[in-house]
Amino acid sequence: MSYLTGKHMARRTFLRSAGATVALPFLDAMVPVGWGAAARAAAPTHTRLVCIEEVHGLAGCNGLGAGKFLFAPEKVGRDYTLVPDNPLSTLDAFRDYTTIVSNTDVRMAEAFNAPEIGGDHFRSSAVFLTQSHPKQTQGSDIWAGTSLDQLYAKKFGQTTPMPSMQFCIENLDQAGGCTYNYSCAYTDSISWASPNEPLPMIRDPRVAFDMLFGSGGTAAARAERRLTRRSILDWVHGEVSSMRATLGSADRQRLDRYMEHISEIERRIRMVEAHNTSGETRELPDAPAGVPDSFSEHMKLMFDLQVLALETDMTRVIAFKTGRDAQNRVFPESGSTQPFHPASHHGNTEARVLEFNKICKYRVSQMAYLLDRMKNTVEGDSNLLDKTLIVWGSPMADPNVHNHRRCPLVLFGHGNGQLKGGVHHKAEDGTPMANVMLTLMQGLGMDATSFGDSTAPFSLT
């Protein structure tokens, strides 16, 4: 192969072997000769969209927590201050990429009639990205709405190998009905291809890795490769060496760094699998072998895989569900020994609100890893965080009373210029979160005049 004067590499270039397919990140060699720096700065042109649900609200979204500024800063605008206990303080290094939107409501997650009262855990997740009220049913006649990520995927994701990818952290494989007469489909996915089509979410990093790199054409081939401990890069070593010889120095460095990332992620997955099949007692005994018992390690692996998927343009759309409302998991690294769900029902007492906030702060702090990885992923004359819109939030506000008013919402990244970052917007009382999502949809190039229960676009300038 050759990419000399007058020739350039196709943007969607793969290294292939009998057992693997490895997509490449954006390289200077993919820019036609003579197009100059402007082309490098502009390519690829499509904004990536990542939607992340933080389940069950935050400690800063009830009256006591709000008074301590545990989510929304006291000051609106650009010159805001985050108190040390604010979970977002763990992300302050990325302030220029952070847009805080406080005081928006997710009323479609509320009970509309008496039989729905108490069913918030089994409604909320389906509402986050659809902003539509789910039908109460345990049958096959489920009905919510089409989610933001899928609307974007239908318009801008059809030219990628995977129009979208869906990830999760906790076990979401619950067939049939949940409590309060709601189908478990509503709790198992935040991504809806249509009002009656929730999409499955990937929990196991090994499954995601094999999807991205086509590691072996069959399950038997994949199992054989793992048993022989052959790396995915062993399969394409010749292709990599041949291509590397044709590239400029900057592209060689970028290719080497990319291959190192793949190798490192694969090594970590193997270590997790080895530990989890060693016979040692697991904290998550029912989880697949590829799922780490450590929440932080699981989050980092999933974030790493998402970055690889985005930088190779395997997909431009990702949805990520980071937990379940009613989970009883303990997060020792947070400094709290309380299980998540019991801690969330803090009774509005100061000590217990602050205890729950420890867990919230720890969970939010995981985002720093993703933001750092994206900021340090070079693409043309910019970076992946500049070209991505990350929608992070919860359809729940105060978990103590299952309140859906004044829910947390934060936007990260610059979204190809859609957001400037470094600002706190406070919505007027009664503003639907759907108003913000409508504005984002319009900024992403979607022909939308309404979304969910939106009443008007929300200014983010």
Distance in angstroms (rounded) separating the CA atoms of residues 74 and 398: 18
Distance in angstroms (rounded) separating the CA atoms of residues 368 and 373: 9
SS (H, E, C) 156-176: HCCCCCCCCEEEECCCCCCCC
Asked if 222 contacts 215 with a C-beta cutoff of 8 angstroms, the reply is yes
**Nearest residue to 170 via CA among 299, 59, 268:** 299
Query: For residues 8 and 250, which has the higher predicted lDDT (pLDDT)?
Result: 250
Count of CB atoms situated within 10 Å of the CB of 326:
17
Q: What is the pTM of this model?
A: 0.93
**Nearest residue to 425 via CA among 100, 66, 98:** 100
Cα–Cα distances in Å, from 50 out to 267, 284, 346, 362, 382?
25, 27, 31, 20, 18
Coil vs helix vs strand at 140:
coil
Instruction: Write out pLDDT tens, residues 313-371.
Output: 999 999 999 999 888 999 999 999 999 999 999 999 999 999 999 999 999 999 999 99
Structure tokens at 338: 């309380």
Structure tokens at 13: 């270039």
Distance in angstroms (rounded) separating the CA atoms of residues 385 and 47: 10
Instruction: Write out pLDDT tens, residues 175-193.
Output: 556 789 999 999 999 999 9
pLDDT of residue 235: 67
Residue written as token pair 């303080």: 89
Asked if 162 contacts 211 with a C-beta cutoff of 8 angstroms, the reply is yes
Asked if 6 contacts 33 with a C-beta cutoff of 8 angstroms, the reply is yes
The amino acid occupying position 139 is G
In this structure, the dihedral spanned by the alpha carbons of residues 87, 93, 94 and 96, taken in order and rounded to 10 degrees, is: 120
In this structure, the dihedral spanned by the alpha carbons of residues 423, 429, 430 and 436, taken in order and rounded to 10 degrees, is: -10
Say yes or no to pLDDT of 407 above 80: yes
Coil vs helix vs strand at 98:
strand
Query: 11 in the Ramachandran plot: left (φ > 0), alpha (ψ -120 to 50) or beta?
Result: alpha
Instruction: Write out pLDDT tens, residues 372-388.
Output: 999 999 988 899 999 99
Coil vs helix vs strand at 150:
helix
Instruction: Write out pLDDT tens, residues 202-217.
Output: 999 999 999 998 755 5
Tell whether omega for the bond before 44 is within 30 degrees of 0, i.e. cis: yes
| Structural domains present in the chain | 48-203+295-443 (3.40.720)
Structure tokens at 180: 């309060």
Structure tokens at 18: 């009998």
pLDDT band, residue 22 (cuts 50/70/90): confident
Residue percentage of the chain with pLDDT more than 70: 90
The amino acid occupying position 143 is W
The average confidence (pLDDT) of the chain is 90
31-40, 63-72, 193-202: the lowest-pLDDT one? 31-40
**Nearest residue to 368 via CA among 342, 339, 390:** 390
89-93, 169-173, 236-240, 361-365: the lowest-pLDDT one? 236-240
**Nearest residue to 191 via CA among 168, 215, 211:** 168
For the chain, what's the residue count? Answer: 461
pLDDT of residue 75: 98
**Nearest residue to 289 via CA among 277, 301, 304, 302:** 277
